[in-house]
């Protein structure tokens, strides 16, 4: 009998590519023998565009990087600008940034867990996760009027103070969220079919994770105990007591489940931050209308929902960045896909892709 | 001549029952799925959205009927009907009431098991005719799955035939006693699972796995041709549930006459709801897990059931 390999183009528009990604796949029956992510379908040249805008005008561009977690890119960029221009951020603004970014982590992980569920066909578990995501988005909408691209964290602080009653509504959210997570843990991660689909699939060993620059939950699922919030502390994170959940097997199951536990830890951080939050200014004093940092460069990174998100800025003394470069965790995490997906079935390939939780706005930039 | 006329009449009636069942089934499934997923489902048209399909069916009718340029036109056009016909034919041998089936034949049970499996041919034809890789993979998955699950499904029905001593569905219904329920529990569960796999529904909906194959073997179908595929799927759900309600659950028992028909409809609806509930609760299995589950769990379970019935049979 003569058999032939089947070349299949998955995407760029496909229900499971989680954005605009094309996977060039060669199949031997159902087994994947070759997979190549072809990126660039969502390239908008954000880094180049930044060179023609003032420092403040770049913030909305960073919203479009990781559009599932816009707050992170806002914050990473603003930290680089603040480092470059030597701006001191008021304490209240730092607390608010931590709160919104931990909320953002929850919203983003709901997408990650939800897509792991949807990829395995559990549409109901997907919607349970999305119901939680929607609660966070409602809080954000109250805060800054936007539901997806917030443009909230600005160089020097944040754009709006917390509205009346927001703290209570945020506490109400963190009070119910861990229960909802345990519910999803029970009925999705506890389900025999889900376990059979996710366990042992797409195993990434810790050495490879480090070698390929994988970071965030995708690396922690393999047992790489690395979290910038704890290991390279920034902002007010050293004042909080939280754990960094890690997995042991490095499979799709551990990667998804690490995200679930991180959400519960995020609730702990938010509660502590709300307790310590004190009145004060939300924007640094004496900022010029037009920021023009002295010539030099600065790099800063934060722990986004996808991993180490870094922004490198070069200034030539003009009011526009001379060069911006984003170290995108989604891009590095996606690179590892061929390594861990070859040899699995077509069904598993998309589960593995979903478990890496890429966002193509950030991959393609 | 008159028998031909009667046959045509029954055929039309069967198609109408399936079409009506599909219309109600789609609405009901959307409600069930909605409530499982913290939503309401259709609400706007008619009470509780029950007239939603009045809007959806014309929409499907007026949609453009697209035939992909590389497709094998005649096969592409005929495949939906080839999928629908066996399901409608299977309707003919179902014993709706004690001693009555539209087409009461001495090999009715065999007919019911054999004819709907012809759907696999239609699915392969549809998959091949589209000249689309996703459809081809979906079609091949469907073929392997449907052929594999034929085995436990047939073996699950075998104990019924043994107990009744007949392949005539009406005689199976007549011989049915309430204690068959506990005795045939394994066979009933296996039949239900194998039927779900046979009709390609979740958690065994690999041939049309949305997250992998977009829509599987009907990826390139649109409008009414797509709707006929969906109708065949709903028809398979309804006929399989009707057959189970009539044979495993004793048709009209504990009532007779008109109330018996009501009881049959209620039992069928419960089974259809279980099928939907399963789909919207469980993740999808993988192809190798699907086949292993068939051969390692379901087939041995039916053999155990056959052995149990074999022990009981001499005492009857």
B254: in domain: yes
A117 vs B contacts (CB less than 8 Å): 283
The domain locations on chain A are 6-364
Of A72-81, A208-217, B18-27, B29-38, the poorest mean pLDDT is in B18-27
Mean pLDDT, range B48-67, rounded to an integer: 83
- Which element (helix H / strand E) includes A36? strand A31-38
Range of the domain at B170: 70-315
The count of structural domains within chain B is 1
Mean pLDDT of B106-113: 86
Quick check: B285 and A193 in contact, CB under 8 A? Answer: yes
Residue B36: its chain A contacts at CB < 8 A? 124
Beta partners for A23?
A: A10, A37
- Cβ atoms within 10 Å of B215's Cβ, excluding its own: 19
- Residue of A10, A119, A123, A351 for testing the chain B interface, max B β-carbons within 10 Å: A123
Chain A interface, mutation test: which of B145, B283, B286, B291, most A Cβ atoms within 10 Å?
A: B283
Q: Are the C-beta atoms of A184 and A113 separated by less than 8 Å?
A: yes
Q: What are phi and psi of A9, to 5 degrees?
A: -100, 110
Contact across the interface for A6 and B133, Cβ inside 8 Å: yes
8 Å CB contact of B283 and A117 = yes
Of A18, A347, A21, A19, nearest to A9 by C-alpha is: A21
Query: C-alpha distances in angstroms, A114 versus A16, A123, A134, B35, B305?
Result: 12, 8, 12, 18, 40
Q: Rounded CA gap, A329 and B90, in Å?
A: 55
pLDDT digits (tens, 9 = 90+) for A135-176: 999 999 999 888 888 989 988 888 888 898 899 999 999 999
CB-CB neighbors (< 8 A) of A352 in chain B? none
DSSP 8-state symbol, A226: -
- CB B299 within 8 Å of CB B155: yes
Q: Choose from A216-220, A291-295, B132-136, B200-204 the range with maximum mean pLDDT.
A: A216-220
Decide if pLDDT at B65 tops 70.
Answer: yes
Distance (Å) of CA A164 to CA A102, A119, B217: 20, 40, 54
Residue B214 to residue A14, Cβ atoms within 8 A: yes
pLDDT in tens, A72-125: 999 999 999 998 888 889 989 999 999 999 999 999 999 989 888 888 888 888
Q: Is A203 exposed, middle or buried (0-12, 13-18, 19+ CB in 10 A)?
A: middle
> Could B280 and A123 be called an inter-chain contact, meaning their C-beta atoms sit closer than 8 Å?
yes
| pLDDT number for residue B1 | 57
Q: How much is the pLDDT for A311?
A: 92
C-alpha to C-alpha distances, A181 to A103, A112, A176, A185, A270, nearest whole angstrom? 14, 13, 9, 6, 16
Write down the ipTM of this complex. 0.78
Out of A27, A120, A127, whose CB is closest to B284? A120
Give domain status of residue B51, yes or no. Answer: no
The pTM is what?
0.84
SS3 A237: helix
The answer to the question of residue B160 being in a domain is yes
pLDDT grade for B119, boundaries at 50, 70 and 90: confident
Is A284 in CB contact (< 8 Å) with chain B? no
Flag whether pLDDT at A67 surpasses 80. yes
Nearest residue of chain B to residue A9 (CA atoms): B133
* CATH architecture of the region A6-364: Orthogonal Bundle (1.10)
pLDDT of residue B211: 66
Q: Phi/psi zone of residue B33: left (φ > 0), alpha (ψ -120 to 50 degrees), beta?
A: alpha
- Determine contact: A149 vs chain B, CB below 8 A: no
Residue for token pair 């075998």 = B158
Direct distance between the N- and C-terminal alpha carbons of chain B, in angstroms, rounded to an integer: 44
Assess if residue B227 is contained within a domain.
Answer: yes
Q: In this predicted structure, what is the pLDDT of residue A138? A: 92
Question: Which residues of B lie inside 8 Å of A (Cβ-Cβ)?
Answer: 33, 36-39, 133-134, 136-137, 202-203, 205-206, 209-212, 214, 280-289
Local confidence band at A270 (pLDDT 50, 70, 90 cut-offs): very high
Average pLDDT, chain A: 89
Does residue A124 belong to the interface with chain B, where contact is any CB pair within 8 Å? yes
User: Chain A residues with CB inside 8 Å of B212's CB?
Assistant: 16, 346-347, 350
Measure the CA–CA gap between A69 and A158, rounded to whole angstroms: 16
């Amino acid at each position: 009998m003569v058999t032939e390999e089947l070349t299949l183009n998955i995407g760029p528009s496909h229900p499971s590519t989680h954005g605009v990604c094309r996977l060039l796949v060669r199949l031997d029956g159902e087994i994947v023998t070759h997979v190549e992510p072809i990126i660039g379908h969502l390239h908008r040249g954000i880094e180049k565009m930044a060179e023609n805008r003032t420092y403040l005008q770049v913030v909305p561009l960073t919203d479009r990087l990781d559009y599932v977690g816009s707050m992170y890119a806002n914050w990473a960029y603003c930290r680089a600008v603040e480092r470059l221009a030597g701006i001191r951020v008021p304490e209240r603004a730092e607390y608010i940034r931590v709160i919104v970014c931990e909320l953002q982590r929850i919203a983003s992980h709901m997408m990650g867990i939800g897509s792991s569920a949807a990829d395995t066909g559990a549409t109901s578990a997907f919607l349970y996760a999305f119901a939680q995501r929607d609660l966070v988005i409602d809080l954000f909408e109250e805060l800054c009027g936007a539901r997806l691209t917030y443009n909230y964290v600005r160089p020097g602080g944040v754009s709006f103070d917390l509205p009346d009653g927001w703290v209570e509504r945020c506490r109400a959210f963190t009070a119910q969220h861990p229960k909802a997570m345990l519910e999803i843990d029970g009925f999705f991660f506890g389900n025999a079919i889900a376990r059979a689909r996710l366990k042992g699939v797409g195993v990434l060993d810790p050495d490879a994770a480090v070698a390929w620059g994988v970071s965030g939950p995708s690396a922690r699922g393999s047992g790489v105990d690395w979290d910038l919030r704890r290991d390279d502390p920034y902002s007010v994170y050293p004042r909080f007591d939280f754990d960094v959940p890690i997995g042991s097997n490095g499979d799709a199951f551990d990667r998804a489940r690490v995200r679930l536990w991180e959400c519960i830890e995020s609730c702990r951080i938010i509660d502590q931050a709300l307790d310590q939050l004190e009145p004060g200014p939300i924007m640094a004093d004496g900022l010029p209308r037009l920021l023009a940092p002295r010539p030099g460069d600065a790099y800063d990174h934060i722990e986004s929902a996808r991993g180490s998100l870094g922004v490198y800025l070069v200034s030539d003394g003009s009011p526009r960045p001379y060069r911006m470069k984003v170290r995108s965790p989604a891009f590095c995490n996606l690179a590892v896909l061929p390594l861990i997906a070859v040899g699995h079935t077509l069904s598993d390939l998309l589960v593995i892709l979903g478990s890496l939780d890429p966002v193509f706005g950030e991959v393609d930039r | 001549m008159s028998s031909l006329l009667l046959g045509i009449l029954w055929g039309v009636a069967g198609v109408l029952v399936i079409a009506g069942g599909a219309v109600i089934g789609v609405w009901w499934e959307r409600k069930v799925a909605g409530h499982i997923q913290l939503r309401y489902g259709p609400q706007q048209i008619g009470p509780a959205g029950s007239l939603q399909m009045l809007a959806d069916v014309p929409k499907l009718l007026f949609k453009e009927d697209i035939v992909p340029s590389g497709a094998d036109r005649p096969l592409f056009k005929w495949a939906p009907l080839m999928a629908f016909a066996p399901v409608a034919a299977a309707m003919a041998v179902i014993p709706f009431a004690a001693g009555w089936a539209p087409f009461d034949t001495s090999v009715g049970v065999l007919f019911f098991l054999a004819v709907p499996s012809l759907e696999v041919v239609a699915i392969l034809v549809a998959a091949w005719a589209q000249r689309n890789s996703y459809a081809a993979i979906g079609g091949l998955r469907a073929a392997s799955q449907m052929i594999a699950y034929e085995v436990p499904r047939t073996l699950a029905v075998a104990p019924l035939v043994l107990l009744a001593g007949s392949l005539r569905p009406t005689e199976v219904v007549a011989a049915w006693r309430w204690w068959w329920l506990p005795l045939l529990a394994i066979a009933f569960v296996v039949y239900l699972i194998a039927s779900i796999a046979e009709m390609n529904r979740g958690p065994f909906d690999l041939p049309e796995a949305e997250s992998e194959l977009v829509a599987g073997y009907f990826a390139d179908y649109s409008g009414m041709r797509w709707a006929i595929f969906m109708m065949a799927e709903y028809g398979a759900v309804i006929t399989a549930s009707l057959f189970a309600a009539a044979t495993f659950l004793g048709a009209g028992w504990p009532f007779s006459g008109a109330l018996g028909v009501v009881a049959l409809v209620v039992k069928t609806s419960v089974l259809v709801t279980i099928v939907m509930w399963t789909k919207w609760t469980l993740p999808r299995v993988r192809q190798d897990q699907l086949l292993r589950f068939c051969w390692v769990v379901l087939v041995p379970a039916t053999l155990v059931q056959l052995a149990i019935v074999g022990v009981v049979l001499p005492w009857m």
